[in-house]
Amino acid sequence: MFNITRWEPAREIMTLREAMDRLFDDAFTRPLTFVRDGWLAPAIDMYQTNDEVVVKAALPGIKADEVQVNVTGGVLTLKGEMKQEDEKKERSWHIREQRYGSFERSVVLPTNVVADKAKADFENGILTITLPKADEVKPRTITVKAK
């Protein structure tokens, strides 16, 4: 037996409220993650090659010694703090959007890595973490011998 449903074109039109909700979701909630104290977690890129996993984090305005990088149980964690400059009373702020305070971002690594051999480089506000893959997960080539 067939079930026929009447087509109503108005049902398929997105309401203004749905469009605004989607706009705010796309613009504010998806690219950045809120954590405690209103600080936004740093944006990251992660990719892997045959030999390593590479994570790049955007940390503008933060010094290299203000960032901690930890690998525990297959999870990479970035922690840091951006210190606020001394407050001066003669200033009258018009716009103040820069965030100050601590942040933390954790991501699950896609494969097993050797944390003891990891490298972290910080240049122009970009932290690049290179984690060599564990030997058991690296691809191996097996030579086929003819008899």
pTM > 0.75? no
Report yes or no on 131 lying in a domain: yes
Domain range enclosing 45: 33-84+101-138
Residues 6+ apart with CB under 8 A from 147: none
Q: Is the alpha carbon torsion for 127, 128, 134, 139 positive or negative?
A: positive
CA–CA separation, 96 and 103 (whole Å): 18
Report yes or no on 78 lying in a domain: yes
Residues 10-33 pLDDT 10s: 666 667 777 777 777 666 554 444
> For position 69, which CATH number holds?
2.60.40.790
Number of folded domains that form the chain: 1
Residues 77-127 pLDDT 10s: 999 887 777 666 777 878 877 767 788 889 999 999 999 999 999 998 899
Distances from the Cα of 58 to the Cα of 48, 78, 86, 123, angstroms: 18, 11, 24, 10
Residue 51 confidence (pLDDT) above 50? yes
Report yes or no on 7 lying in a domain: no
